[in-house]
Amino acid sequence: TNHSGQTPHPTIYVDGKELKIMPSLEAFLRQHRRDHDSGLPLWIDAICVNQHDLVERRKQVAMMCRLYTQLARLVVWLGIDDDDAEIKIATEFIQQHASAQREGQESIRNFQE
């Protein structure tokens, strides 16, 4: 089990290797493929970071800030949409923050020119 108590059971294949994943990740992958699949690669920490190697996890977490600031698009999975008010509030906050950050970066670029 993991920190949320979910038991991993779905299986996916990454680079030809079998990988057990959490049900919530399977739900994301299915929904993303159905609704948003652009063919662009996904970086998913639960897959890309060896969760059983503490040294690797620490190293990857340290790199995440740099990685996230260089992204053109970031998808955050909060779970299946079940009309949960807290998820809607969190989603709105993230969208507003991302919009403000994009506007701020554009202002900086304009100022530098």
Which residues make beta-bridge pairs with 53?
Answer: none
pLDDT (tens digit, 9 = 90+) per residue, 57-86?
888 888 887 777 787 777 777 677 666 677
Domain range list for the chain: 1-73, 81-113
Q: Where are the beta strands (DSSP E) in the chain?
A: 11-14, 17-20
pLDDT (tens digit, 9 = 90+) per residue, 12-24?
998 899 988 888 8
3-state DSSP call for residue 92? helix
Which residues make beta-bridge pairs with 18?
Answer: 13
3-state DSSP call for residue 99? helix
Put simply, whether the predicted model's pTM sits higher than 0.85 gets the answer: no
3-state DSSP call for residue 1? coil
